Amino acid sequence: MIKIAICDDSPEELQTLTNHLNMYKELKPTPLHLYSFQNGFSLLDAIEHGEQFDIAILDILMPGENGIDIARDIRKRQPDMEIIFLTSTPEYALESYEVKARNYLLKPVSKNKLFAAIDYVLDQLNKNEDSGFIVYNSAKQYTRILFSQLVYGEAMLKTVNLYMANNTMISSVMTFTELLKLLNGCPDFIHPHRSYVVNMNFIQYVDKNEICLINGKKIPLSRNNYAKISKQFLDFACSISFEQ
Alpha carbons within 13 A on the beta-carbon side of 212: 7
The CB density around residue 128, as the number of other CB atoms within 10 Å, is 12
This prediction has a pTM of: 0.55
For 4-19, what is the mean pLDDT? Answer: 95
41 against 124, higher pLDDT: 41
- Chain-centre distance for alpha carbon 227: 32
Q: Tell me the C-alpha distance between 36 and 6, whole Å.
A: 5
Q: What is the pLDDT of residues 158-181, one digit of tens each?
A: 899 999 988 899 999 999 999 999
Is residue 147 over pLDDT 80?
Answer: yes
Q: Which residues contact 4 (CB under 8 A, 6 or more apart)?
A: 21, 32, 33, 34, 35, 53, 54, 55, 56, 57
**Domains of the chain, start order:** 2-127 (3.40.50.2300), 131-243 (2.40.50.1020)
- Confidence (pLDDT) at 235: 85
162 exposure class (CB count in 10 Å sphere: 0-12, 13-18, 19+): buried
Q: What is the pLDDT of residues 224-237, one digit of tens each?
A: 899 999 999 988 87
- Confidence (pLDDT) at 46: 93
Q: Tell me the C-alpha distance between 87 and 97, whole Å.
A: 14
